Amino acid sequence: MSLSQIFRDDLLAGQVAIVTGGGTGIGASITRELTRLGATVVIASRKPENIEPAAAGLSEELGREVVGEICDIRDRDSVAAMVARTVERFGRLDHLVNNGGGQFFSPAEGISGKGFDAVVGTNLTGTWNVTRAVADAWMLKHGGVVTNITMLTHRAFPGMAHSVAARAGVEAMTRTLAVEWANRGIRLNSVAPGYVASSGIKRYPAGLNLVQQMQSVVPMKRLATCDEIAWMVAYLHSVAGAYITGQTITIDGGKELWGDYWPIPDPKPMPEIEIPVEPWETE
């Protein structure tokens, strides 16, 4: 089994984690990192054709079992059953990473009521469903750590009105629960990635050439890697993050800070963008 580049390999030994959307992109990198640190990781996704190959591929790669669970985070009964199976099988549940979600690129006037409700139902209500189920089943009595993966919410995000609204709601919910549940030993934080070279970037229409433009609007002139997001999640779930709760930690290479009045020239040539593809992923 390959080891973490940052942390000692037994940092989370004997502990159990659920990572929703843990089979692709950022979620797969988070799963790798937590597994490398000794945690038993359960990954959950709505579609069997996504979760089963991912669980098998990650298990083979990491040399220890990554458990795949079929779960629709919008369905409270499905969520409760998945969490109950996890606690029954492993006897505990120390960590939750709410990475599951989804959206589509569209100007606001092109988003139907059904489309808006679907995105909010997945990203906001789905996050609440899993968080509440994990709290009820284990963490309210025993403590634990929750990290919610969101997006850049402090400025406008044209083309993503539905998703940015839902993610801002997740961040507000995170702050509130961090206060309410502090005396229960539960820490909750959000991690807000900027532009990441992950499979999720395929949601942007190719015709708009946005992927190539993204590097130019980041002061560091590159996209984040999935591992860079996973390392922050691992930090928050380790003893190093023991006094951090209710925060939104932005990982964006300075994107949200930069205005237009301070020019930063592009390097020549610009770095090539490599979008990682997992062995089990299909187009």
**Which comes out higher in pLDDT, residue 186 or 217?**
186
Q: What is the DSSP letter of 14?
A: T
CATH topology of domain 16-257: Rossmann fold (3.40.50)
The H or E element that residue 31 is part of is: helix 25-36
**pLDDT at residue 104, rounded to an integer:** 84
Q: What is the DSSP letter of 225?
A: P
**pLDDT at residue 273, rounded to an integer:** 82
Give me the percent of the chain exceeding a pLDDT of 70: 94
Give the Å distances, CA to CA, from 153 to 30, 92, 193. 22, 33, 10
Cβ(154)–Cβ(161) below 8 Å: no
- Residue 282 binned pLDDT confidence (cut-offs 50, 70, 90): low
Q: What is the DSSP letter of 33?
A: H
**pLDDT at residue 199, rounded to an integer:** 74
Q: Residue 4 pLDDT more than 90? A: no
Q: Measured between alpha carbons, how far is 121 from 114 in angstroms, rounded to an integer?
A: 10
pLDDT tens, position by position, 11-52: 999 999 999 999 999 999 999 999 999 999 999 998 888 899
pTM: 0.91
pLDDT tens, position by position, 201-228: 666 666 446 667 888 899 999 999 999 9
pLDDT tens, position by position, 237-271: 999 999 999 999 999 999 999 876 677 888 888 88
Mean pLDDT of 227-240: 97
Cβ(197)–Cβ(224) below 8 Å: yes
Mean pLDDT of 92-101: 96
**pLDDT at residue 141, rounded to an integer:** 98
Summary mean pLDDT of the chain: 92
**pLDDT at residue 283, rounded to an integer:** 57
**pLDDT at residue 50, rounded to an integer:** 83
The encoded tokens of residue 213 equal: 């433009």
| Strand arrangement, sheet containing 67-70 | 67-70, 40-45, 16-20, 95-98, 144-149, 186-193, 248-251
**pLDDT at residue 1, rounded to an integer:** 62
Q: Measured between alpha carbons, how far is 78 from 58 in angstroms, rounded to an integer?
A: 23
Cβ(45)–Cβ(74) below 8 Å: no
**Which comes out higher in pLDDT, residue 145 or 198?**
145
Q: Residue 139 pLDDT more than 90? A: yes
